[in-house]
Homo-oligomer: A and B are copies of this chain.
């Protein structure tokens, strides 16, 4: 029964945008609405790694991460591109744990990578969250908003997407 609840929890997605303060000690307080989910699904065990395309961090529940990790590990290790992905993703994947106040401590090297100081944006992205420096986020978002959509480059999957 517990298992079923846990599976159902896993199917739910994380949504929403939140602005959070990171304190001097590098702690980030997870918004309460996500806490119970993260406790149910992963007993508060989370994985923080880098996004290789953007200077932001990705936050996964441990079980969600393990699925991805298995795929990453299975990639051929003699291929240059996949080797690079393994190094960057697995190499930066750091286990963090929610403390009793529902906060996580950002490891210095990762914190530095994404310049997580002062105000941080936490974006729900389905199975994961993204953590952005607020300014970087604003800039990037405005950039995306300004981009023209050109029909030629749209993947076919988009045809069936009615908003």
Residues in chain A within 8 A of chain B (CB atoms): 13, 15-19, 33, 47, 51-52, 58, 68-69, 71-76, 79-82, 84-95, 107-110, 123-126, 128, 130, 141, 144-145, 147, 149, 153-155, 157-158, 160-161, 163
Contacts and interface: CB of A to CB of B under 8 A. Distances in A.
Q: Copies of this chain, how many?
A: 2
B71 A160 contact: yes
A149 B147 CA distance: 20
Contacts of A128: 163
Nearest to A96: B16
A19 B86 contact: no
A17 B82 contact: no
B17 A76 contact: no
Contacts of A153: 80-81
B124 A68 contact: no
Contacts of A154: 81
Contacts of A161: 68, 71-72, 75
